[in-house]
Structure 1
Amino acid sequence: MTMIIPRQYPPVPLLGVSVLCHQKNEVLLIKRGKPPFAGHWSLPGGMVEVGEPLADAATRELLEETGVSAEITRPVETFDSIQRDDDGRVRNHFVLTVFCARYMSGEARAGDDAAEARWFLPQDLADIVTTPGTPDRIVRLLAGR
């Protein structure tokens, strides 16, 4: 029996992955097509499936959302993304593990939950609407790669 856990007001935190895919001086972002943060630019990623190793989930999600294949490295960061409603109840709680990845192949295109996929220079991130902390995370993690 498969248990479906709602993404809004979940009874437990949900496990996801994000991928900081880079080539030369650019990073690949997707414009989120669904809540939370629909319309915001973000690192590609999504939910880990039961029995799926984190790195495999990162590889799968990157390909599904962007059409890009990359060399996934070790996890570089894990953080909580928690949003509360006006009453203070937890609306969303994701635990996200970020992987850095070096671009290998594929043409960036929106797929799966993404409304758009595009390469950005880190200095241009201040001019777009992103998910919370994304520009700082990208600059910090690229500096440490």
Structure 2
Amino acid sequence: MTAERDLRIRCVGGIAHDPTGRLLLVRRGNPPGEGLWSIPGGRVEQGESDETAVVRELEEETGLSVTVGALIGSVTRPGPRGLYEIHDYACQVRSGTLRPGDDAVDARWVTAAILATLPLTEMLRETLEAWGQLPRG
């Protein structure tokens, strides 16, 4: 493998459910995953903690202010310049109005029925199911 393919890029995601159990998702506007639905999140910037990155990413992509909770799980996914190490955290929405922003072209709360119809990023459904984080509503 080349050094570039060995590069590890730390990323975070925020897993949030509303009071009815719907899951917060965004539709990606840029690669990787352009056009696909996923958990809101992104790269951790230099000097930033995971918690700070989750708060920033959710604000940028969804307009929502969140409190970050426990680490739910981590996955590694291939990217164009290395491997994305994605650490997904439980989030509780504190305030804000849901609206897409930054690299998200859409943002919504989804039920299990809607989730089944959406084009999702690779292994998202299986991972959320394994973690017990599918929509509850």
Q: What TM-score, normalized to structure 2?
A: 0.85
Query: What fraction of aligned residue pairs are identical, expressed as a percent?
Result: 32
Write the mapping of 1:1-145 to structure 2, written as runs, cut at 5 A. 12-24=7-19, 25-82=21-78, 92-139=82-129, 140-142=131-133
CA deviation string 1:37-91 (max 9, x = no partner): 10000000011011111111011100111001122102111110115xxxxxx65
8 A contact 1:68–1:105 mirrored in 2: yes
Larger radius of gyration between Structure 1 and Structure 2: 1
Spell out structure 1 runs of 4+ moving beyond 4 A.
Answer: none
Letter in 2 for 1:103: V
Specify every segment of 5 or more residues in structure 2 that has no aligned partner in the other structure, as ranges.
none
Which residues of structure 1 form unaligned runs of 5+?
Answer: 1-8, 84-89
Number of residues paired by the alignment?
129
Q: Helix, strand or coil for the counterpart of 2:55?
A: helix
TM-score by length of 1: 0.81
Task: Give the match's secondary structure for 2:61.
Answer: helix
Q: Which amino acid aligns with 1:101?
A: C
